[in-house]
Structure 1
Amino acid sequence: MKFAYRFSNLLGAVYRQGNLNFSKDGNSVISPVGNRVSVFDLKNNTSETLPISTTKNITCVGLSPDGNLAVVVDEDGAALLISLLTRAILHHFHFHKPVSSIRFSPDGRKFVVTKENVALMYHAPGKQREFNAFVLDKSYYGPYDETTCIDWTDDSKCFVVGSKDMSTWVFGAERWSNLIYYSLGGHKDLIVGCFFEKDSLDLYTVSQDGTLCIWESDTELDGLILKRSQDKPKPLRQREEGEEEGEEEEQQEGEVIRGKAELPKENKTKNVRYKQMSKHFFNKEGDFNHLTCAAFHKPTHILVTGFASGIFHLHELPEFNLIHSLSISDQRIASVAINSSGDWIGFGCSGMGQLLVWEWQSESYVFKQQGHFNNMASLAYSPDGQYIVTGGDDGKIKVWNTNSGLCFVTFTEHTSSVTSVTFTSSGFVIVSASLDGTVRAYDLHRYRNFRTFTSPRPAQFSTLAVDNSGELVSAGAQDSFEIFLWSMQTGRLLEVLGGHEGPVSGLCFSPVQSILASVSWDRTVRLWDMMDSWQVKETIPLTSDGLSVTYRPDGQELAVATLNGEVSFWNPHTATQTSSVAGRHDLEMGRKETDKITAKQSAKGKSFTCLCYSADGESILAGGQSKFVCIYNIKEQMLMKKFEISSNLSFDAMEEFLDRRKMTEFGSLALVDEGAGDGDGINISLPGVRKGDMSSRHFKPEIRVTSLRFSPTGRSWAATTTEGLLVYSLDGSMVFDPYDLDMDVTPVSIRKQLRLQEWASAIILAFRLNEKALKQEVLETVPHEQIPVVCSSLPDIYVEKLLGFVAACLEKSGHLQFFMTWAQNLLMLHGQKLKNRSGAILPTLQALQKSIQRHYDNLTKLCDFNMYNIRYTVALSKQRGVKRAAEEELEVEEEEEEDDDEGLVSEEMSEASFGDAEMIVS
């Protein structure tokens, strides 16, 4: 249960080859990546790789109109029917030949597959369960060369097929009496795209030499006449020589329709005819700027064409008005797709591994991602587990978000392969070493290279380590056998450590002491004391060349991988070996195509090249020149689990035994020279060559694991491989792992405790049963004011379990304050006890920190965004208050003036009345 890691995502590669598809709502791009399929959500800016894989690289993907089903086909023609809702494989099928394109009809009832010069129409898989999901309906023979593209009419009555023989063929999906097939010429190069006009039989065809032909039909879609049953052709043995050979008799595997260059002869009804209305040519930069892909959006009449030079054009048809033209890459555009609304255009460039989504109306990128277009060499997790940094042989450093699976910054300062990358303890500085002779430090706040460390003499740095404080940076050279130390603050070279007699292959700082461990090909591990004048504290002799070294998270153990396939464990204080694991047999190295020895003999020279301790320090992860990654229990010296990171046979060194189908009388087919006798011979890779000769015509990358890292949270681990950056995670919902279970622990008894308001005992029972939904229900039932009381009464062992569960809930739940209160009370009340077990509790605390940091980042953005609105509102209210006060003061003054006037009038009146009284008295 502890090692129930499952494949969760593929990072570092966004597109390899094949065709792109948009989802039905137009918000997601479905992209083939090697032998897997990735879905990029453009609205939420996330990526997901489906947990399915084919045996070889995927060449084409067909998507059903409702967006629920997809058919993916690999290089050999092996097809998988996939549900995009459940992410499950529904059916396996084999076409036995490479498939060039696949397209569902708009009504979703049929789909057409083109292979070689044949178009095969199948019934689409229904909603009910079927023994065979792929039922062949008709086979269409027309073109003389390989078919290239397909398009359907809007009502699914006809489809058109383009071919490499420069012809385009229109076929009827049903038995139409006036359209069985129709062949169109007019091009001088292979057909790249053919498209029907909306609700019409009118056609647009685009060829590789940049020619667009517009064809008009004399018949509307409603004018197609269904062939009556009595018009069915006679069986072949009864057919006379002069009769039309348009169709053959129905067979068990489906009806066969054969097309000829001329039209079928029909006397009763007028046949569908096409006329070329116009011919247009794209502006070309040169003879080699071929048109490589095309897509047409029927509602808006927009044609998108991609070229070998990386330029794409937008034209409005049928007038052929150029709307937009842009160069997006210096490589060939391999695939183009338009979403349902016609706003976004997706481009795939296989040469650079780029995937771009362009909004043509606003002329801006919606999505722009590029993987490492060469091997990845190294990776590192940030201290909170939110980010992964990778370095590749292309000299680029990319930082990936583990939640979204997307790269958000790329550093390109290095001019040669990046050999090692790492984060500092703060998590905001990345340090990288490269073969270009520099070590560079990058700031993740401002996204800039703020330090560059160099050596007095040029050296190729192969390893890197940064101490816990982030002040000391060390790098090992593979040509001068020296270790260089720099200060991060000043950037100055502090010391050059000499003593190794071979290339330095691994460096690691102790997590608890200021000690640097270095391993070399000279069969020694040296421990350097950073406090005592950088002197050698210990020299540990090894039985074979050292390849990798790493410290346990508590600093009390050292693991070393050697060339003889062993992983040995040492006590760094006493320099004594505590245990070792012989892992050569667990590697199971595959056989290369050009190998003349067996895989068993080849495996004797293979070994682990990268090691990583688990977060709790009880297990170690090991990988190397193999498709397997092994997890060993250190105490028991036992293999716990073995992960197969790839099943893609497009890579070399995958198969254990020779394929007899590739054997000839002269030996393996890969070793047979098929050239014209120019004397160059076959490109056989030399021993130790990793990449192969990229200029050779036949290049097959070899499967290997170059770097491994456990996430600080312990919930996942990542590996950089030939395939990309693979992330394996624990799937909590699938794992039932009860703790201290007995007969009384049931959901009924737990809910009874909740009704009695016995919160602490309900929590303990829920954790003993260990069902996630039940634990969450119990936790959220506890009143907010009772949390401190419940936390203080929990036993120590349940404190750790509850803290880990709160960290997991906090990552996804919206009840932020509620779970933060739980975390705060658990840490405040049990802090001292947790501190004593800091090594074991560290992954849980880092998971908690990761969740809190993510919420903090999101809320910070929200508050920063609203701060100015709040300030504006406050200023406005103050302004209105001042204005209101002034108005009130003015009103008071006016009232006082009125009172004064009334007083004067009353005095005059009183004086007058007094005078009148005197007169009366007199």
Structure 2
Amino acid sequence: MSSSFFLKGKSRQVHKRKGEKIKKKNPKKPNGPNLENGNESSGSDLDIRKFSDAEESESDHETAEQKKLRLAKKYLEEIEKEEAKRAELKEIDDVIEDRLKKDYLEQKGKLKYEIGEKYEVPSEKDLRLIRAKEHRLTLTCVCISSDNNIAFTGSKCGTIIKWGIKEKRKLGSLTYKTHSNLLKGGITSVAITTDSKYLVTSDESPNIQVWDPSSLKHTHTFKGHKDFITGLVFRKNTHDLYSASKDRSVKIWSLDEMAYVETLFGHQSPITSIDALTRERAITAGGRDTTVRIWKIAEESQLIFNGPVGSLDEVKLLDEEHFVSGSDNGSLCVWSVLKKKPLCTVTEAHGSENEVPRWITSLATLLNSDVFASGSYDNSIRLWRVSDQYRKVLPMFSVNVSGFVNCMQFTSDGKQLYVALGQEHKAGRWFRQGGAKNGLLVVNFSIKS
């Protein structure tokens, strides 16, 4: 029988050679105490390990009372850090809560900033007329990006110019010479998405052109209208486009899919103006049919508002529940979506000439506020303030300009107004103001805090 695997007797001795040391390794325990010189460290030593070596060496010379005081201070510092972190998180939560509340009130049309009384009358130095050789003829339209960084203008000579607001100069242009296959006649409208991803333009053709606002490269053409387009607007925070045309229809387009969606009918004459905000709705002015229509797209219905006699040429939303209209009989009307008649009317808002009221040629609203502006051809832009639950319109002041005020837009902070000026009306050549200059007027406002 073979010998047992286990041998009895003394264990084998390990002899060290001369000049050689045998190293003994202490087993490491993952979470156990450190072993130094064969002795376990105490619990208080474990706490001290949390601090730096410098603090450890310092603690070797301190008394028990000093140690307690030091640890207490360290504990208080940790508490202060935690409280600061909580305060920061609460601040973030408050910002989110305020934003959600603002978005909710905006959707309901109940968000309103009353800042009309804080505006100061601009002086001559606050007005700046910018001109470019590409805009030889009357400027017809203007739009501003939501971040207030760039503006686009169109003119009757079929050119579009990109302006840098911060740079205060021209950044690029699209002309008939360079894009003769795409630009047909005078530009009638320009619009840009909230995220500045798409720019759309229309001219004296039934087509809508889509561009990249950064590079000004052409990306798509929408075809479908039977007459030229009179207005373009994007639904806020989306890539849904609404177009209005002389063919009396409104068409909806999706730029996410670069596709036609549907057509809305109802107006009895060419549509002259269109606007939209966040809701899935569009609002239009029907010119000679003297109606404003709100198109409830999801519900497939429309609200009809009958305006004053004449041609109802301009309409702009103040918020989701109120809007302003302007007619060729010189009247300004403020409306609620809940009432069929105007809440208030200003007759001959820009005076008359030879006993004929001057037309309202453009409107601009500072969204969710009590401020809006109107333009005509009386050499002035007039600013107005709504009050008394939208039942009164009070004049604020006038800004002197020269020529037809064909289109206007406020920057989102209300501190600037961009105005497309020209010698002629944007829609025709009934008469001309020879002394006026075709250009982009920038009006700077001071608003009291």
How does the TM-score come out when normalised to structure 2?
0.64
Task: Show the counterpart of 2:432.
Answer: none
Q: Does 1:474 align with 2:242?
A: yes
Report if aligned partners of 1:615, 1:713 keep a CA contact under 8 Å in 2. no
Partner of 2:358: 606
Query: Is the 2:210–2:218 Cα contact (8 Å) retained in structure 1?
Result: yes
Give CA deviations for 1:194-213 in whole Å, capped at 9, x if unaligned.
Answer: xxxxxxxxxxxxxxxxxxxx
Residue 94 (structure 2) aligns with: none
Paired amino acid for 1:528? W
Partner of 1:406: 169
How far, CA to CA, are the matches of 2:162 and 2:235 in structure 1?
21
Q: For residue 451 of structure 1, what is the aligned residue in structure 2? A: 220
Shift of 1:464: 1.4
Give yes or no for contact 1:481–1:504 (8 Å, CA) kept in 2: yes
Residue 551 of structure 1 deviates from its aligned partner by 0.7
Following superposition, the deviation at residue 465 of structure 1 comes to 1.5
CA change 1:514–1:448 in 2 (3 A) is same
Match of 2:374 among 599, 611, 622: 622
Cα distance in 1 for partners of 2:408, 2:363 equals 7
Deviation, 1:608, is: 0.8
Gaps of 5+ in 2: 1-117, 176-181, 423-436
Contact 1:9–1:726 (8 Å) recurs in 2? yes
Q: Which residue of 2 aligns with 1:432?
A: 201
The residue that corresponds to 2:211 in the other structure is: 442
* Match of residue 536, structure 1, among 292, 296, 301: 301
Match of 1:375 in 2: 138
| In 2, Cα distance between equivalents of 1:572 and 1:418 | 31
Q: Name the structure 1 match of 2:397.
A: 641
The C-alpha deviation readout for 1:170-199, integer Å capped at 9, x for no partner, is xxxxxxxxxxxxxxxxxxxxxxxxxxxxxx
Q: CA deviation at 1:418?
A: 0.8
TM-aligned CA deviation for residue 9 of structure 1: 5.3
Cα separation, partners in 2 of 1:462 and 1:426, compared to 1, 3 Å: same
Q: 1:547 aligns with which of 306, 309, 313?
A: 313
**How far apart are the structure 2 equivalents of 1:588 and 1:644?**
15
Greater relative contact order, per chain length (Cα 8 Å cut-off, separation 6+): 2
Residue 528 of structure 1: CA displacement? 0.8
Deviations 1:548-567, CA, capped at 9 Å, x for gaps: 11111x31211111222111
Aligned residue number for residue 3 of structure 1: 120
Task: Name 2:414's counterpart in structure 1.
Answer: 714
Counterparts of 1:9 and 1:405, CA distance in 2: 13
* Residue aligned with 2:418, SS: strand
For residues 719 and 588 of structure 1, what CA distance do their matches in structure 2 show? 20
Q: 1:531–1:6: structure 2 CA closer, same or farther, 3 Å change rule?
A: farther
* Mapped contact 1:504–1:519 kept (Cα < 8 A): yes
CA distance in 1: counterparts of 2:412 and 2:192, whole angstroms: 12
The residue identity in structure 2 corresponding to 1:714 is G
Which secondary structure does the structure 1 equivalent of 2:167 belong to? coil
Q: Is 1:570 matched with 2:335?
A: yes
Query: For residues 534-577 of structure 1, what are the alpha-carbon distances to aligned partners after superposition, in whole Å with 9 as ceiling and x for unaligned?
Result: x233111112221011111x312111112221111111144442
Measured at CA, do residues 512 and 473 of structure 1 come closer, stay the same or move farther in structure 2, by a change above 3 Å?
Answer: closer
Contact 1:588-1:628 at 8 Å conserved across structures = no
Per the TM alignment, residue 725 of structure 1 is displaced from its structure 2 partner at its CA by 0.6
Tell me the C-alpha RMSD between the 2 structures: 2.0
Q: How many angstroms apart in 2 are the aligned matches of 1:501 and 1:3?
A: 42
Structure 1 residues 385 and 546, CA gap change in structure 2 (3 angstroms): same
Structure 1: gaps (5+ residues) = 15-352, 354-370, 590-598, 647-702, 738-800, 802-922
**1:468 CA displacement:** 1.3
**Which secondary structure does the structure 1 equivalent of 2:302 belong to?**
strand
Query: Which residue in the other structure is 1:13 paired with?
Result: 131
Change (3 A) 1:616 1:572: closer
Task: Specify the code of the residue in structure 2 equivalent to 1:402.
Answer: I
Deviation of 1:502 (Å): 0.5
Preserved contact between residue 442 and residue 450 of structure 1 (Cα < 8 Å): yes
Question: How much has 1:731 moved relative to structure 2?
Answer: 5.0
CA distance in 2, matches of 1:540, 1:379: 27
Q: Is the 2:120–2:446 contact (alpha carbons within 8 Å) kept by the matching residues of 1?
A: no
Aligned counterparts of 1:623 and 1:446: Cα–Cα separation in 2: 32
**Shift of residue 427 of structure 1?**
2.2
Quote the offset at 1:705 in angstroms: 0.8
Equivalent runs, 1:75-94 vs 2, <5 Å? none
1:728: which partner in 2? 443
Which whole-Å deviations, capped at 9, do the CAs of 1:761-799 have from their partners, x for residues lacking one? xxxxxxxxxxxxxxxxxxxxxxxxxxxxxxxxxxxxxxx
1:386 match? 149
Amino acid at match of 2:335: W
SS across alignment from 2:272: strand
Within 1, Cα distance between the matches of 2:130 and 2:255?
29
- Asked if the contact 1:9–1:405 (Cα under 8 Å) also holds between the matched residues in 2, the reply is no
Secondary structure in structure 1 of the residue aligned to 2:191: strand
| Greater helix proportion | 1
**Deviation at residue 616 of structure 1 after TM alignment:** 5.0
Task: State the distance in 2 between where 1:575 and 1:427 align.
Answer: 35
On the 8 A contact 2:361/2:404 being kept in 1, the answer is no
Q: 1:717 to 1:496 in 2, by over 3 A?
A: same
- With the length of structure 1 as denominator, give the TM-score of the two structures: 0.32
Letter in 2 for 1:453: F
Moved over 4 A (4+): none
Give the corresponding residue for 1:705. Answer: 405
Give the secondary structure class of the aligned counterpart of 2:342.
strand
Q: Aligned equivalents of 1:557 and 1:372: distance in 2?
A: 35
Sequence identity of aligned pairs in percent?
Answer: 16
Task: Give, in whole Å, the separation in 1 of the partners of 2:308 and 2:257.
Answer: 40
CA separation in 1, counterparts of 2:221 and 2:120?
40
Indicate conservation of the 8 Å contact 2:285/2:312, yes or no.
Answer: yes
Say whether residues 1:558 and 2:320 are aligned partners: no
Where in structure 2 are the equivalents of 1:513-532 lying within 5 Å? Answer: 513-521=279-287, 522-532=289-299
Letter in 1 for 2:173: T
Aligned residue identity for 1:13? R
- Code of the residue aligned with 2:290 in structure 1: it is R
The answer to whether the Cα contact below 8 Å between 2:237 and 2:278 also exists between their aligned partners in 1 is no
Aligned ranges for residues 278-293 of structure 1 at < 5 Å? none
Partner of 2:19: none
Query: How far is 1:579 from its partner?
Result: 1.7
Q: Distance in 1 between matches of 2:200 and 2:440?
A: 19
Q: 2: CA distance between counterparts of 1:731 and 1:525?
A: 34
Taking a change above 3 Å as real, the CA distance of residues 624 and 563 of structure 1, as seen in their structure-2 partners, is: same
Partner of 2:179: none
Change (3 A) 1:388 1:560: same
Cα offsets for 1:436-479 (capped at 9, x unmatched)? 22111211233211121111x6421111121113322121111x
| Distance in 1 of aligned mates of 2:154 and 2:316 | 19
